[in-house]
Amino acid sequence: MLLFNQMVVLFILMGIGYLCYKKGIITDEVSKKLSAIVVNIANPAMVLTGCMGDEKIEGKELMITGVIIVLVYATLLLIALILPLLLRVEKKSRGTYQAMTVFSNIGFMGFPVVAALYGNGALLYAALFTIPYNILIYTYGVSAMSTGKKEGEKKRSFSIGKILNIGVIACIITIVVYFFQIPVPAFVKSTTTHLSNLTAPLSMMVIGASLVTIDLKKLFTDGKLLLFAAIKLLLIPIAGMLVIRSFVTNEVICGVCMVMLATPVGSMTAMLAQQYDGDYEMASRGVALTTILSVVTMPLVSMIVM
């Protein structure tokens, strides 16, 4: 019920963003700036709050989480290789479907949900997911989307600076501060907490605003995309959690993994598709459809596996 209530709140925030765009309060330019605030300030601040609470996590639990994360992404990469072939996706859209399979909205949507359900201390677990995520999205993600570029152009699009971005740096700082028990001044904690509170409302409003440009009727009549959404939002997280829960007893770790697996397609897939000649229209529709459906599917997955 708590997850359902949280998803309703996020859906309402998306609705507000949708209305603000309709009324001209949020424009494309404003949306880009709000996204920049979330990506570069609010979300990293939310990650940092994970090391500032009283919650303590044993090294063994972090190690277990690390192993799970490696196995999760290895499995997702394998599924991404097979799924577009099973769905008989057109060649021009295969890379887009592969990226949509691997990359979920763990930052914009996953982190706020984890914080609401399990407290800011659980964000330390969630932060670990973003490190391989960012490495993969600027390597595997770019490669999958770059179907229309020459090999040399693909290589030039990669840089270590993109991997070592502010999100990953925030994750590394969080883990270092936690493990070495570095004292954090009260004013830093307060400032970071206030900034982190911007993440959920701003990110959901940006997602809501992006839905205005999508033909919702067309969205729900694409049978292939609907089947993909069912696999992405239901089959993969349910199957994954049944395996994880068979050897992990820590409820917080299981809960964080559930949220990370059940979140919709990440908005970065659409950005990559636009920049690297992927199927941008399909990526945008995938983000929109899975985001709308996740309001129902995430609580459903939680009811089944938790």
- Indicate which CATH number applies to the domain containing 155: 1.20.1530
pLDDT at position 80: 94
In a domain, 210, yes or no: no
In a domain, 89, yes or no: yes
Region 115-144 average pLDDT: 81
Domain carrying residue 186: 29-195+215-300
CB 261 within 8 A of CB 302: no
Tokens representing residue 133 in the block? 């995520």
In a domain, 205, yes or no: no
CB neighbours of residue 155 within 10 Å: 12
pLDDT, tens only, 282-306: 888 888 899 889 989 999 999 999 7
Please spell the DSSP secondary structure of 35-97, one letter per residue.
Answer: HHHIIIIIHHHHHHGGGSSS----HHHHHHHHHHHHHHHHHHHHHHHHHHHHTT--HHHHHHH
Average pLDDT, the chain: 83
pLDDT, tens only, 65-115: 889 999 999 999 999 999 999 999 988 889 999 999 999 988 778 888 888
In a domain, 18, yes or no: no
Does pLDDT of 142 surpass 60?
A: yes
Does pLDDT of 152 surpass 60?
A: no
Number of domains comprising the chain: 1
Region 219-232 average pLDDT: 92
In a domain, 305, yes or no: no
Greater confidence, 233 or 122? 233
Q: How confident is the model at residue 155 (pLDDT cuts 50, 70, 90)?
A: very low
Greater confidence, 83 or 220? 83
Three-class secondary structure of residue 205 per DSSP: helix
Tokens representing residue 239 in the block? 């199957």
In a domain, 190, yes or no: yes
In a domain, 8, yes or no: no
In a domain, 5, yes or no: no
Q: How confident is the model at residue 153 (pLDDT cuts 50, 70, 90)?
A: very low
Please spell the DSSP secondary structure of 88-125, one letter per residue.
Answer: T--HHHHHHHHHHHH-B-IIIIIHHHHHHHH-GGGHHH
Does pLDDT of 139 surpass 50?
A: yes
